[in-house]
Chain A
Amino acid sequence: MKSIILSFAVVTLASACSSGGSTGGSGTPTPGPQGGPPTTPEIDDRPASRAEASRFLARATFGPTDEGIDAVMQSGYRAWIDAQIAMPATLTAEQIAAGLCVVELESEENECSEEQLEEGTVTASDRRARLWWESAVWAPDQLRQRVAFALSEIFVVSVNGALGDLAYTAGTYSDMLASNAFGSYRTLLEDVTLHPAMGIYLSMVKNRKPDPVENTRPDENYAREIMQLFSIGLVELEADGRVRLDGNGQPIPTYDQSVIVGMAHALTGWNFREASDANLEDWLDARETVGAMQPSQLFHDTEPKTLVTGQVVPGMRTAEQDLTSVLDLLSTHANVGPFLGKQLIQRLVTSNPSPEYVGRVSAVFADNGQGVRGDLGAVVRAILLDSEAMEGHARSPDTFGKVREPLLCATAMLRAFRADQSVSAAGLIELGESIGQQAYLAPSVFNFFRPDFATAELRSQGLVAPEMQITTHSYSARVANELGFYVFFGSRGAADDEFESPTLNIDREIAMAGDPGALVAHLEELLVGGLLAPETKSALTTYLGTIPADEGEPSRLERALEAIYLVLVSPEFAVQK
């Protein structure tokens, strides 16, 4: 029977939150109320300036706002982080599901309301994408959402394949990352491993023991990538993230092919929830893509296996027992702290952290100060409160920071200029298409960019810039054009009547436009953390002064639009510091 799935009315984020969002994952370690472990050098809790608070918020949120800067100025960094961590997670999957109804094309009966039928062209996958944008731009639990986005670029699933038709499943994966953002790494790794989205994406679902009749052997896909990408990486690391070398000066591989084969066997026997294992055909036919994957002992390999670190586990164990060994071995491996810690620093703060910075974060991963290993909330806190994060722009003025990826350029603009939450965020999906980056749409499990990507020039100087991998000639122009489109066509006052996306509110900037210097200083604080180059600042101020603004509102608007656009396309904005 033919059927199509429709979705309907937009549930605004505000109403969803006020009706009570779910809270974070179970087993969340509770860090102390104030401060990190003693290994983190103390920084002043109060921002020295609004610009400093703005720089902090560029790392800890999807972009600073005037109100956000006010809040950090008032509460100080630690209390702000505490409040953010305590905030319930904004989740999306139930909103994806809530809009779905099924129309039976060859029948009079269907479960859709008139309203749903009218709204019928919105697909579930568009709802999922739109809800991601809504959370990024407007959700109050900004730190959690930003960390979840960072995790989505490490524990990658992409809707560019089989997951494309499973919007709810993909949404629950996103929710799972948000719920675990401040929880235990061991729990996160298990939830990632057993999530049906990952099961589909890296084909662990229906992975089964060797079958002599069919002449098959276990799938190695997840076994390989859980090690290479989600936990320990390819080579042994020092606690500060530097590559450990053997007596011949060579890196030491963390595993070889025999370990991958062993891990692949250990990870056999998992399938979607409620899969029947009455026979192979039924088992392979399972389709319930909601809920954690469940084991079937019938399809689990029960021979002894060599796992990572050379650990041999005996035969005749259950799928759960083997999985526990795999996850325990990986999550306690000495590489995880530096491997994951460095990547989180790169996602939030700077592409080229010093070994000391990585070492401090990795020490917090090993022990949050209360004897707990893998406390991600403590790790995030250590990353954000480290003196290198706070002072890097001054200590290493030529290298500190990271290139803003297109998505973060867009969210920074939308948040800074108070994008109108009452308008459907559907237009933001187009924005993502135009800038060439959409969450959960990486080309492969290797993300949009690799953590060690460098241009030839940077590599020769010992530097990396992961986001430069997608900063191609064409895309850098497209991103600039798209930001210009939003500013000039989407700002309230300038907006085209038919602009179908949340409009920008630039009233504050218009009000300041009488004084070009003040306007530039305001934008400098809000968008670039007070770090416009003096030449840029003076050239921009002079340029704005040539736009006549004394005849009142219309030309003030023009001056404000020009100022905003030009700061958004400046190299200073392109590199978050």
Chain B
Amino acid sequence: MNSRNEFNRRRFLQLGAAGALAMHTSNLLQPFGLKGQGADGQDYRALVCVFLFGGADMFNLFVPRSASEYATYSASRGNLAEPLNSLLPVDSLGAGAAQYGFHGSTAELQQLYQAGDLALVANVGPLVRPLTKDEYLGNAVPVPQHLFSHSDQQVQWQTAHADGPGTTGWGGRMGDLMRALNGATALPPTISLGGSVPMLVGDQVSPYALGPDGPQRLELLGDEDPARRDLFAAMIGSRRHKLEEQVAKVHREAIEIERQLSSELANAQEFTPLFAGTGELGAQLNMVARLISIRANLGVKRQVFFVGQGGYDTHAGQAGQLPLLFRQLSQSLGAFQQALSQMGASQAVTTFTSSDFGRTLSSNGQGSDHGWGSHALVMGGAVQGQRIYGTMPNLTLGGPDEIGEGRLLPTLSVDQYAATLAKWMQLTPAQLGSVFPNLGNFGQQDLGFLA
């Protein structure tokens, strides 16, 4: 379709790129050692949030294999149950009697788990404070607002403050505390490949948002035509109109950050072959890998990235859709961990999943509906892997963990899960208390999955 237009568009963009090339050259002429001074890649840490949009059915990602537990799983899930012989077995360290396996389409996850680079955090969800089934059914204890709604529970996972105002995310609040460590760069400590997300908004920081194809240059408005560039700079100067100011600010930030990033990325390591066939999620993680690979040049020490994979709202067609999503997730995470190893950053980067909510264990005939508690994955060299953290839920419908239609009451809060990640990012106890206002409501504040 329209290849000639596509050709012209590329040619048009290349006209602008001539100017960019000149700029790169001038950057190379800067004295070596000015940039990245003192930032030798030591003391760098980053978190990468992989958000599974729609509410991923993690109960089919990590499935019991022991006879009694599998029988319970199978009875509760009905036609959604994965066949026992399709599961990829794993041996968990220090776990109880039950054996588990990964979904048949996630060989990379099985390998990462067995290699000790991946752990499972069981039955996590947004909570205001811990509660029992009786307390929930008796409305005795406060619970998050609008349970089981996509938009609300996405925000609750991203804010880690279930009864808070929903204005800042835990990554953003962390970014407020960490940004001073990153030196003079215009690049904020929070970076999104998944659009504007509350997770990365703090009181001071807001994320740099780019696509998998990297920072976009404003063609025609760059250094190749100084008069036009200066006119545009004046047009996007501070504005009285508050919406115009937001638009103008995005342009101002985009121009400055793109200049720095494109110049560094031009010489950055390439990981593209690793990510072949990993789809949109892989493309996002590929760009994250490239951005991490230039950490020393940028002089940054702490970063929080956000990537997203959509399609998990499997009310219908779950049997066909979920294996494809899991395969892409598994291949993408596997490729990303390899890329981190290649650049010597596997110990410095921890990747973790979040999602709107868990899903109903019970079937609606064609799929599953919105639930609450869900499993999460954490991956990285610093992860104490091959383990299950928290308590695997009892999957019996009508059992002690189930609160109706196969929804599970979480036994760990998002606050505990996120605080464990934030502590690894070297926040002090006092800082953890300010980033996670409800953390004190929960007993165990470090779930132990990071060394």
Contact = CB atoms under 8 A, between A and B. Distances in A.
Contact of B196 (A427, A470, A543, A571): A470
Contacts of B208: 473
Interface string B217-235: 1111100000110011011
- Size bracket, chain B contacts: 35 or more
Given A215-B78, A228-B149, A473-B258, A206 B211 contact: no
Contacts of B79: 214-216
Interface string A261-301: 10000000000000000000000000000000000000000
B232 A498 contact: no
B8 A472 contact: no
A161 interface: yes
A475 B405 CA distance: 41
A546 to B, nearest CB: 7
A484 interface: yes
Interface stretch (B28-36, B237-245, B431-439): B237-245
Interface in A393-438: 397-399, 401-403, 426-427, 429-430, 434
Interface string A516-558: 0000000000000000010110011001001000000000000
Interface stretch (B43-51, B249-257, B330-338, B388-396): B249-257
Interface stretch (A73-81, A146-154, A455-463): A455-463
A48 B244 CA distance: 25
B247 interface: yes
Interface-central residue, A220, A459, A473, by most chain B CB under 10 Å: A473
A430 B1 CA distance: 9
A219 B168 contact: no
A501 interface: yes
A18 interface: no
A484 B78 contact: no
B260 to A, nearest CB: 12
Interface stretch (A339-347, A374-382, A443-451): A443-451
Interface stretch (B19-27, B339-347, B361-369): B361-369
A402 B5 contact: no
Interface in A475-503: 475-478, 480-481, 484-485, 488-489, 496, 498-501
Contacts of A457: 242, 246
Contacts of B147: 257
Contacts of A217: 362-364, 405
B365 to A, nearest CB: 4
A478 B12 CA distance: 13
A92 B113 CA distance: 52
B39 interface: no
B151 A446 contact: yes
B218 A477 contact: yes
B369 A219 contact: yes
A214 B146 contact: no
A460 B210 CA distance: 24
Contacts of A456: 167-168, 201-203, 206
A219 B365 contact: yes
Given A456-B201, A459-B167, A468-B196, A575 B315 contact: no
Given A399-B241, A402-B243, A481-B219, A214 B196 contact: no
A105 to B, nearest CB: 21
A485 B12 contact: yes
B160 to A, nearest CB: 17
Contacts of A215: 75, 78-79, 362-363
Given A535-B234, A571-B235, A206 B365 contact: yes
Contacts of B68: none
A427 B5 contact: yes
B196 A472 contact: yes
A334 interface: no
A223 B270 CA distance: 47
B203 A472 contact: no
B73 interface: no
- Size bracket, chain A contacts: 35 or more
B152 A234 contact: yes
Contacts of B316: 203, 206, 219, 221
Contacts of A575: 241, 243-244, 247
B364 A224 contact: no
Given A446-B151, A471-B250, A481-B218, A253 B146 contact: yes
Given A477-B218, A540-B231, A261 B405 contact: yes
Contacts of A206: 316, 365-366
Contacts of B251: 476-477, 480, 571
A571 B239 contact: yes
A210 to B, nearest CB: 9
Nearest to B151: A446
B241 A569 contact: no
Interface in A201-235: 202-203, 206-208, 211, 214-221, 224, 228, 234
A474 B191 CA distance: 12
Contact of A214 (B75, B78, B206, B405): B78
22 contacts: A121-B1, A203-B315, A215-B362, A216-B364, A216-B365, A224-B149, A397-B241, A398-B241, A444-B150, A444-B310, A446-B150, A468-B196, A473-B209, A473-B257, A475-B211, A488-B12, A489-B8, A500-B2, A501-B5, A533-B239, A571-B239, A575-B247
Given A434-B9, A472-B209, 13 more contacts: A221-B313, A397-B240, A455-B206, A457-B242, A458-B242, A474-B211, A476-B251, A477-B217, A477-B254, A481-B220, A485-B8, A485-B9, A539-B235
Interface of A: 121-122, 126, 161-162, 202-203, 206-208, 211, 214-221, 224, 228, 234, 251, 253, 257, 260-261, 351, 397-399, 401-403, 426-427, 429-430, 434, 443-444, 446, 450, 453, 455-459, 461, 463, 465, 468-478, 480-481, 484-485, 488-489, 496, 498-501, 533, 535-536, 539-540, 543, 546, 562, 565-566, 569-572, 574-575
Interface of B: 1-2, 4-9, 12-13, 53-54, 75, 78-79, 145-152, 167-168, 192, 195-196, 201-203, 206, 208-211, 215-221, 227-228, 231-232, 234-236, 239-248, 250-251, 253-254, 257-258, 310-311, 313, 315-317, 362-367, 369-370, 404-405
